[in-house]
Chain A
Amino acid sequence: MSEHEELENSIAAWVLGAADAGEADTIAIHVDGCPSCQVTASRLTRAIDALPLEVEELEPPARLRQRILAAASTSPRVVPMPSRTEARSLRLPSRRKHLEVRMFERIPLYAAAAAVLLALVAGVAVGQLAGHFTPPAQSQVARFMLVGHDSMAGARASVVDLKSDGIALVDFNGLPALETGKVYELWLITPGNRIDPAGVFVPDASGTKVVVVGRSLEGYKTMAVTTEQGPDGAAAPTQQPQLYGSVA
């Protein structure tokens, strides 16, 4: 069975919310780039949306309506109140853009982290910078995903390339614990297959780590991770990477 077929067979579980977390990410990435799987996911989701109608209806307590209206009157609105015309013109993003939007919602966090790091490097007081930091424009930011395989299955990393700042942030999670004396080493690979080391790191006990790469990812096609001898890692990878993804 091909990888496509295997993932396609898991779409029903995914749209039901029944896929494991790591698998769900893999399926989401695949569906995002696979038109036929998008059609399947959409079709199956429509079936799921009818499932609530199976339920025998119950009468809720009479107080619930008033409780909701009362709560709404004091609830802070998280979006500006547009006119009807404006609201009609608003569109949720397409499926393809969904991941971008989902990631973009995290950008202020990454950007703030980047600002803090830059401030620390530059010797600037964090408090001075944090109040004036403006998140970079979307065109200056690119996002990618690294996915683990084999012994690193379940590991993931979100990559944010802050082009204007000349750095990239890699947010790892689900990393397996390292053997004593070992480190993870990050690699950047050019279209000509030149492999540049991009730093070593050790995740915390929960398998997470945010790594700052001190360069933009422009000119690279792939980011990969291997396990190398610590504390400094290797000049060139000594094994096949099992966590990698496109950054082009």
Chain B
Amino acid sequence: MGPETGAGRSDPDLAADLAAGQQDALGELYDRYGRLAYSVAFKVLGDPGRAEDVVQEAFLKVWNNAARFDAHRGSLRTWLMTSVRNRSIDYLRGRAGHEREEQELQPGVAATGPSSDPWREVSLSFERTAIREALASLPPEQRQAVELAYFGGYSCREIAGMTRVPLSTVKGRMRLALEKLSSYLQGRGLMDV
């Protein structure tokens, strides 16, 4: 596969070309995010075959629905990664894929990630460093709560049972963790205020 490149089409242009059925646009999307998508799927599933299946489904979802993309409401990366993560969790938990359909396209709370194009790779690198620093700075129990939910697909109730703390405590830990991550990323200019 090609590297994640900073050159190439902007998200809106790429989405428009995907919607127009241009296969080279899909190739560019894959070159840009395929490695990240596969890595997330593998982290959740721990199975290379299933991870491939999930990544394929997620890319095809974007391919088929690219006309609905709106750069004002989120980046292609966010859309794709949300799809990968949700499908991975659905596989993991034996849920039907359609249960996640609405959440993936939940536009009102979609992220407005850092701008793409020439700064994409640099931005991604900054973000990666920042998110790792931010997560490392969290108290272990807060990080655990977020990671069990995001990468494990566990509900608050399940996490409360696993960690033997009250449900409200789990929710509080999640809230604190995400607020800290948000502040951390905002403080580095990696997230819109």
Are A102's CB and B23's CB within 8 A?
no
In the complex, the answer to whether A17 meets B67 with C-beta atoms within 8 Å is no
A98 and B106 contacting across the interface, CB-CB below 8 Å: yes
Answer yes or no: A194 CB below 8 A from chain B CBs. Answer: no
Give the CA-CA distance A38 to B1 in the complex, in Å. Answer: 39
How many pairs, one residue from A and one from B, have CB atoms within 8 Å of each other in the complex?
A: 232
Q: Is the interface of B mostly helix, strand, loop or mixed?
A: helix
Q: How far is the CA of A57 from the CA of B33 in the complex (A)?
A: 11
Which of A5-13, A140-148, A169-177, A200-208 contacts its partner?
A: A5-13
Please tell me if A16 contacts chain B, counting CB pairs below 8 Å: yes
Residue A69, interface by CB 8 Å = yes
What residue in chain B is nearest A10 (Cβ atoms)?
Answer: B171
Q: Are B89 and A55 in contact (CB under 8 A)?
A: no
In the complex, which of the residues B64, B153, B178 contacts A15, with contact meaning CB atoms closer than 8 Å? B178
Closest to B78 in A: A49
Please tell me which stretch of A80-88, A111-119, A157-165 contacts chain B, meaning at least 4 of its Cβ atoms lie within 8 angstroms of it.
A80-88
B20 close to A87 (CB less than 8 A): yes
Interface residues of B in 125-169 (CB under 8 A from A): 127-128, 130-132, 135, 146, 149-151, 153-157, 159, 168
- A98 to B110 Cα, complex, angstroms: 12
**In contact, A12 and B38 (Cβ under 8 angstroms):** no
In the complex, whether B13 has a CB less than 8 A from a CB of chain A is yes
Counting chain A CB atoms within 10 Å of each CB, the highest count among B40, B65, B86, B172 belongs to B40
Q: Is the CB of A64 closer than 8 A to any CB of chain B?
A: yes
CB pair B153–A54 under 8 Å, yes or no, is no
Query: Which among B106, B150, B157 is the interface contact of A16 at CB below 8 angstroms?
Result: B150
Contact indicator B107/A92 (Cβ below 8 Å): yes
- Distance of A62 Cα from B130 Cα, bound (Å): 29
Q: Do B191 and A46 have beta carbons less than 8 Å apart?
A: yes
B149 touches A13 (CB 8 A): yes
Beta-carbon contact of A12 and B103 below 8 Å? no
**A64 and B56 form a contact (CB under 8 A):** yes
Does B182 make an interface contact (CB < 8 A)?
Answer: yes
Q: Give every chain B residue within 8 A of A83 (Cβ-Cβ).
A: 16, 20
| Pairs of residues from A and B, 8 with the lowest C-beta to C-beta distance, nearest first | A95-B108, A60-B38, A84-B16, A49-B111, A87-B16, A18-B149, A47-B181, A12-B175
Q: A9-B168, A90-B67 are in contact. List 6 more A-B contacts (CB 8 A).
A: A20-B155, A38-B108, A43-B179, A65-B34, A76-B64, A87-B66
22 A/B residue pairs, CB under 8 Å, sorted by A: A9-B168, A12-B178, A13-B174, A15-B109, A16-B174, A19-B155, A44-B179, A46-B192, A47-B191, A49-B81, A51-B131, A51-B146, A53-B128, A54-B135, A64-B34, A78-B65, A84-B13, A87-B12, A92-B110, A93-B107, A94-B108, A98-B108
